[in-house]
Structure 1
Amino acid sequence: MNILHIDTATPVCSVALTINGVLSAYRDHDEPNIHASKLTVFIEELLLEAKIAINQLSAISVSKGPGSYTGLRIGVSVAKGICYALDVPLIAVNTLDAMMQGFKASLSEQSDRGNELNTLFCPMIDARRMEVYTAIYDAHLSIIEPTAARIIEADSFDYLANKHQLIMFGEGANKLSDLFSEHGSIQIYKGFQNSARYLIPETLTRFNKQEFEDIAYFEPFYLKDFVPTTPKRAIKS
């Protein structure tokens, strides 16, 4: 069982390869606007490194969003293209769910903080200005509040922080450091970076249950409609 995992929902262009459920190789590259030029290159590199031919893949897993409109389009298009060509199933994982899986695993390795029952976790993806895509989870990975787009203000989480410690992480959380710098119950964790590796647990569960997407009709989970803007150089006075 060889599964390719793709995550392009954020500025990180990431791919991972698992063989029989075990991570074989991965690439994480955090640089804006490289998904179109680097994604297929990284896939080729991983297959060569693992000595796996592309026609030996059993399934493709993709981070379905929310996240960058362009990034999601690229990742899902490549994933669907490989699935069509090889006639293998497509598995889609919510990006915030995957982030929570990865963060909880890394935090548990460092300390017992991730096991505190009164701690809630808030993965965040930047949606520009003071808006983020986010959800809230408890220490057992259960969803407390579902995925949503939220405009963040200083008192946005008071209803939770009055009773819980709240840990925010992800590229969307990084811009909130000043806003919550004096809030004793809210911690901004800046060391987190998205990775296709975090898709693995949910992907394996879905593969074993044969919970596959309809390749013809599957679309990324954008959460918000894409609103095109006019390039500044094209604006005339």
Structure 2
Amino acid sequence: MRVLLSVGILFQGCNSAVKCRNDNGAEVDWYILYKYPNMDNRGLSYLYMDERTNGWILSTENINSASGTLANTLKPLLDFYDRKIEGFGYMLYSDQPPEPYVAPSSFGHSKGVVMLDKKTGVWLSHSTPKFPAYRKKAFWPSSGNANAQTFMCVTYSYDKFKEIGLQLKYIHAYSYDSEIPQTFHNELRCVAQRDCYPKKEPWSRVVTLTSSSGRNFLSFAKYKRFGDGKCLQSGHMF
């Protein structure tokens, strides 16, 4: 049993499971989802797009399906709820978090999921209140049913999450659930502990993030003081 366990841990370290995944569970570099608003009983249906689809396709799954794109992508997190996995970290942030959390107004208007190990990770940004549900396998909240919702997932190598942590600092993301190992990037740990936000100008940050497959994404982040009187008087152009 000890030998088998050791082999399993070694295998996990060499082959990262933390990647964006489609309805079939296959790895993808990035995807975008659009969940329909609740009209004509289509409120849980969604459109899907990635680098291989050549545009939007209608998923055969519902957004809350245990075998859909979101569930497949979140699987490392959902598995972690059952069994703590060494070398895995995550952070869930939202200005509309699930109960019992309430995000103070001083935090940024942003929502997302960060999951990573020492190989790869995903940054899943979205628009859904109370998503994902707090430490539940049933990750989809009813608060996401009525309105249209959007999701964008990108797979990045581990080293990119230092920059992602800095972007989340400028957003001043409200972390409502996290477990970031001590050996992971301090920039992520600081945001997860709600201790990080810009203390001086500039109040915004733009960075190019390169995905695991070499696709460049331009990330814009701004703190709440961006565009206030002091910033305008300084003459900075963003």
Higher relative contact order (CA 8 A, sep 6+): 1
TM-score, normalising length from structure 2? 0.27
